[in-house]
């Protein structure tokens, strides 16, 4: 007999033991946020910024995600909006159904993902409901957070760094059954222990962006920051940037944050980032039509030197086309530009003379391998990195939250309450939370 989501939610909120949770029947359908295959061409001919996630993201009942070998079904308490949900919902740079179709060609297990709907979401705090054959580390009732590195690790290329596996995928973007649903399906090796001093919504938001920032800045696969490094961080109160600032401060570096409002400048000062540039107030025009404006690069570089007295050792890049030429130009001789994205366009232009003559490096980075994701989560659990959560929305309002992110109307992360009925629940260790109370209070100032 099929169970109900309400019974599962109540059992979790009442702290039911794992054996009880293991015996609860799962429902045949769950509420989920998804895009539809028959709508993948709905925005053709419409300008990027006018493509509206509120038209393409649906929240309705869909069949419960399946369970297979080395997989877990998890009850999602909270999730988050990532920019990849925006990309999926506006079908840019391509429809994510193309990923699901490609996945289906890998065999029977991949074929399960190729449906007429794509359940999105690459973050979750959750409780394990069921484990598939081969899962030994996790059991029903475990409280977990999820990282989105979905990989079989059969290919030797990935044995040293799972991001190098040619079959590596981002869960909830290149796979189906993502975190913006009452029940999601993950590989067991995506699970990590939920930090014990955090609420469901706080634990849900770091996974993707925190791990990505860790690899970009801290890991030897990224810029491998050292004490005293000056790090220019674009979008320093955004999803990635809010974590990047904390990594630079923790690592003894000197962050220079770039943001677009006096309010964001103030927030960065409050979390200890002394040097901040308000790009809107400065009115930088890096592009004059289809040509880059070197004078503006020079003006930008002078502003950075005026603040810290030297050029950046590292530039934390993700805006892409709009900023990349400036990023390469302002980087110190021998410095590094580490990039994971191209929000404003992926056809970058830069003057290569400033790269080779000044011996600079451009490092491409993408999410994080298992070890990096685990380390990034460990630092959250230690209270050394704190999630920046400005607002939560109920699952039913996922599309509105994605609209906010698409239009840069948000700060930090937007959380989504899925089975958690309210904010503030899920804390396992009150004494530990009390220890970090001052820090948590500072970060609460990001709240809307």
Interacting residues with ligand NDP (CB under 6 A): 82-84, 208-209, 212, 234-235, 237-241, 258-260, 264, 279, 318-319, 322-323, 340-341, 343-344, 366-367, 405, 408
Query: Is 430 in a helix, a strand, or coil?
Result: helix
Rank residues 70 and 322 by Cβ distance to ligand NDP and give the closer one.
Answer: 322
Q: Phi and psi for 74 in degrees, rounded to 5? A: -125, 145
The least distance separating ligand NDP from the CB of residue 49, rounded to whole angstroms, comes to 11
Pick 140 or 179: Cβ nearer ligand NDP: 179
Closest separation between CB of residue 365 and ligand NDP, Å?
A: 7
Closest CA to 181 of 73, 21, 100, 104: 73
Minimum distance, C-beta of residue 196 to ligand NDP, in the bound complex (Å)? 25
Q: Which is nearer to ligand NDP, 115 or 240 (CB)?
A: 240
Q: How deeply is 229 buried, as exposed, middle or buried, from its count of CB atoms within 10 A (0-12, 13-18, 19+)? A: buried
Query: Looking at beta carbons only, is 143 or 279 nearer to ligand NDP?
Result: 279
Residue 207 Cβ vs ligand NDP, minimum distance, rounded to whole Å: 10
Q: Is 166 helix (H, G, I), strand (E, B) or coil?
A: coil
The CA-to-CA distance between both ends of the chain, in Å, stands at 43
Both tokens assigned to 103: 């996945």
Assess contact for 32 and 112: CB atoms under 8 A.
Answer: no
Closer to ligand NDP by CB, 131 or 211: give it: 211
Which CB, 110 or 257, lies closer to ligand NDP? 257
Q: How far is the CB of 91 from ligand NDP (least distance, A)?
A: 14
Nearer to ligand NDP, 123 or 313 (CB): 123
Closer residue to ligand NDP in complex, CB, 334/364: 364
Using the minimum distance from each CB to ligand NDP, give the nearer residue, 340 or 376.
Answer: 340
The residue among 174 and 182 lying less far from ligand NDP, judged by its C-beta, is 174
Tell me the torsion sign for CA atoms 194, 196, 202, 207: negative
Non-local CB neighbours of 177 within 8 Å, separated by 6+ positions: 65, 66, 113, 119, 184, 185, 186
Which is it for strands 230-233 and 314-317: parallel, antiparallel or unpaired? parallel
Task: State in angstroms the smallest separation of the CB of 339 from ligand NDP.
Answer: 9
Q: How far is the CB of 302 from ligand NDP (least distance, A)?
A: 18
Minimum CB–partner distance for residue 385 and ligand NDP (Å): 15
CB nearer to ligand NDP: pick between 64 and 87: 87
| Smallest distance, ligand NDP to C-beta of residue 259, A | 4
Could you list the beta-strand ranges (E) of 179-335. 183-187, 191-193, 230-233, 254-259, 275-278, 287-288, 291-292, 314-317
Distances, alpha carbon 352 to alpha carbons 26, 45, 260, 310, 366, in Å: 57, 34, 28, 21, 23
How many other CB atoms are there within 10 angstroms of residue 375's CB atom? 16
Q: Count of H helices and E strands in the chain?
A: 18, 20
Q: How far is the CB of 40 from ligand NDP (least distance, A)?
A: 19
The least CB distance from residue 404 to ligand NDP, in Å, is 9
How far is residue 51's CA from residue 62's CA, in Å, rounded to a whole number?
A: 25
- Residue 158's H or E segment, with its range, is none
Annotate 57-108 with DSSP letters as a single string. Answer: -EEEEEEPP---TTEEEEEEEEEE--HHHHHHHTT-SS-THHHHHHHHTT-H
């Amino acid at each position: 007999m099929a169970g109900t989501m309400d019974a599962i939610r109540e059992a979790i909120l009442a702290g039911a033991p794992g054996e009880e949770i293991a015996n609860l029947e799962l429902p045949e359908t769950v509420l989920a946020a998804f895009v539809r295959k028959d709508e993948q061409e709905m925005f053709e001919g419409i300008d990027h910024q006018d493509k509206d996630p509120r038209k393409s993201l649906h929240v309705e009942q869909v069949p419960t995600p399946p369970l297979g070998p080395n997989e877990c079904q998890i009850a999602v308490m909270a999730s988050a909006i990532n920019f990849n949900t925006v990309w999926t919902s506006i079908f840019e740079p391509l429809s994510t159904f193309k990923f699901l179709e490609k996945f289906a060609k890998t065999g029977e297990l991949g074929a399960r993902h190729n449906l007429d709907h794509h359940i999105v979401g690459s973050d979750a705090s959750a409780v394990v409901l069921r484990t598939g054959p081969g899962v030994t580390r996790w059991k029903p009732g475990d409280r977990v957070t999820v990282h989105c590195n979905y990989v079989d690790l059969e290919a030797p290329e990935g044995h040293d760094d799972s991001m190098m596996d040619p079959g590596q995928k981002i869960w909830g973007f290149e796979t189906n059954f993502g975190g913006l649903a009452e029940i999601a399906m993950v590989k067991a090796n995506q699970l990590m222990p939920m930090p014990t001093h955090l609420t469901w919504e706080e634990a849900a938001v770091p996974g993707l962006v925190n791990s990505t920032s860790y690899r970009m800045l801290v890991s030897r696969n990224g810029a491998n920051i050292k004490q005293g490094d000056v790090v220019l961080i674009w979008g320093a109160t955004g999803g990635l940037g809010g974590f990047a600032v904390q990594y630079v401060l923790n690592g003894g570096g000197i962050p220079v944050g770039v943001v677009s409002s006096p309010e964001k400048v103030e927030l960065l000062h409050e979390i200890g980032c002394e040097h901040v540039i308000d790009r809107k107030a400065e009115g930088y025009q890096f592009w004059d039509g289809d040509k880059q404006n070197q004078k503006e690069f020079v003006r930008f570089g002078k502003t950075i030197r005026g603040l810290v007295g030297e050029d950046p050792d590292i530039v934390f890049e993700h805006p892409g086309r709009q900023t990349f030429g400036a990023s390469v130009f302002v980087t110190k001789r021998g410095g590094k530009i580490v990039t994971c994205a191209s929000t404003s366009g992926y056809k970058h232009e830069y003057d290569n003379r400033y790269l080779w003559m000044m011996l600079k490096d451009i490092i491409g980075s993408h999410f994080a391998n298992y070890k990096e994701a685990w380390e990034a989560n460990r630092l959250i659990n230690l209270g050394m990195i704190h999630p920046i959560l400005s607002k939560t929305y109920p699952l039913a309002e996922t599309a509105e939250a994605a609209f906010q992110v698409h239009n840069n109307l948000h700060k930090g992360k937007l959380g989504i309450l899925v089975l958690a009925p309210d904010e503030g629940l899920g804390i396992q260790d009150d004494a530990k939370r009390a220890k970090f109370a001052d820090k948590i209070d500072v970060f609460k100032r990001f709240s809307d």
